[in-house]
């Protein structure tokens, strides 16, 4: 598992420029939406109140899919982003979010396991064209026998990103600049750092699939 992290980090550094180029329109749009929400928070209500989270999910889907396209293209595999896949991503994200929230209510650990078990759903949606429930189920099936290992690994990645988020927010908070500007710059940097989860997702998915296929191979007969 540590080797997967090392491989993912190396790939992240090598592919950082293509990843930023591919995802920058959606990152900037998400940052702009966050700034819009911050400035007009007192005036957002009704339909707009429910519309903004949906737009955020769409932009998050585009960031994930654009980044995954870069990584799969580097592996010689082309994947297509369609409106149907984006809709499936939104439904899956809502489903995962609700399940995670319920899991967090039971001593946090079930929620973390749900997050880890559904981590690979974007790949099954983008690459395999699976539906929201099917993608989550396929993602969870990869963790059979490795739930604890993978959950701990992903928790380590998420904690590292949250630590960077805290550090960035603290450092930028020291600058005498408008709050909206500091928030926008910090958000953009955090979204770029968060792209690291994509090579982790792809490499860990490949690692688990290879392990699963190895287990499924028939053992040779002992007879000579």
**Predicted confidence (pLDDT) at residue 224 exceeds the cutoff of 70:** no
pTM of the model: 0.85
Q: Is the pLDDT of residue 221 over 70?
A: no
Q: Are 67 and 198 in contact (CB under 8 A)?
A: yes
Res 196: pLDDT: 92
- The beta strand positions in 19-71, using DSSP E, are none
Give residue 41's pLDDT. Answer: 65
**101 part of a folded domain:** yes
222 located within any domain: no
Q: What pLDDT does residue 53 have? A: 84
Task: Give the percent of the chain with pLDDT over 70.
Answer: 90
For residue 223, the model assigns a pLDDT of 45
Distance CA 224, CA 155 (A): 48
Q: What is the mean pLDDT of residues 15-19?
A: 94
The reply to whether 216 falls in a domain is: no
Cα dist from 203 to 36, 37, 62, 150, 176, whole Å: 36, 35, 20, 12, 41
**What does DSSP assign to residue 70?**
H
Q: Which of 70-74, 163-167, 210-214 has the highest mean pLDDT?
A: 70-74
Does any domain span residue 61?
yes
Cβ-based neighbour number of residue 8 at 10 Å: 22
Distance CA 55, CA 62 (A): 11
| Residue 220 or 12, more confident | 12
Tokens of 88: 């499936």
Dump pLDDT digits (tens) for 95-145: 888 888 888 887 778 888 888 889 999 999 998 889 999 999 999 888 887
Instruction: Kindly state whether residue 155 falls inside one of the protein's structural domains.
Output: yes
Q: How far apart are the first and last CA of the chain?
A: 37
Give residue 59's Cα distance to chain centre. Answer: 12
What is the tens place of the pLDDT at every residue in 44-86? 676 676 788 888 889 999 999 999 999 999 888 878 888 899 9
- Phi then psi for 193, rounded to 5 degrees? -60, -40
149 in Cβ contact with 170 (< 8 Å): no
Residue 217 counted as domain residue: no
Say whether pLDDT at 26 is over 90: yes
Predicted pLDDT at 124: 92
**Structural domain span for residue 162:** 2-211
| Number of structural domains found in the chain | 1
């Amino acid at each position: 598992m540590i080797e997967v992290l090392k491989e993912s980090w190396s790939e992240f550094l090598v592919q950082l420029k293509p990843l930023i180029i591919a995802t920058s329109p959606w990152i900037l749009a998400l940052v702009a939406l966050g700034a819009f929400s911050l400035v007009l928070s007192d005036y957002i209500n009704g339909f707009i109140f429910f519309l903004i989270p949906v737009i955020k999910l769409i932009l998050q889907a585009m960031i994930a899919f654009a980044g995954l396209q870069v990584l799969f293209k580097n592996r010689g595999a082309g994947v297509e982003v369609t409106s149907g896949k984006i809709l499936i991503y939104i439904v899956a994200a809502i489903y995962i979010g609700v399940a995670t929230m319920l899991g967090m209510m039971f001593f946090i650990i079930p929620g973390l396991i749900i997050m880890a078990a559904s981590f690979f759903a974007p790949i099954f949606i983008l690459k395999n064209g699976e539906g929201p429930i099917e993608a989550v189920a396929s993602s969870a099936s990869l963790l059979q026998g490795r739930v604890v290992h993978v959950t701990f690994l992903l928790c380590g990645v998420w904690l590292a990103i949250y630590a960077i988020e805290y550090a960035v927010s603290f450092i930028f908070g020291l600058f005498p600049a408008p709050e909206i500007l500091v928030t926008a710059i910090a958000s953009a940097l955090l979204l770029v750092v968060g792209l690291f989860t994509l090579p982790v997702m792809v490499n860990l998915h490949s690692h688990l699939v290879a392990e699963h296929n190895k287990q499924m191979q028939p053992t040779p007969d002992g007879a000579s």
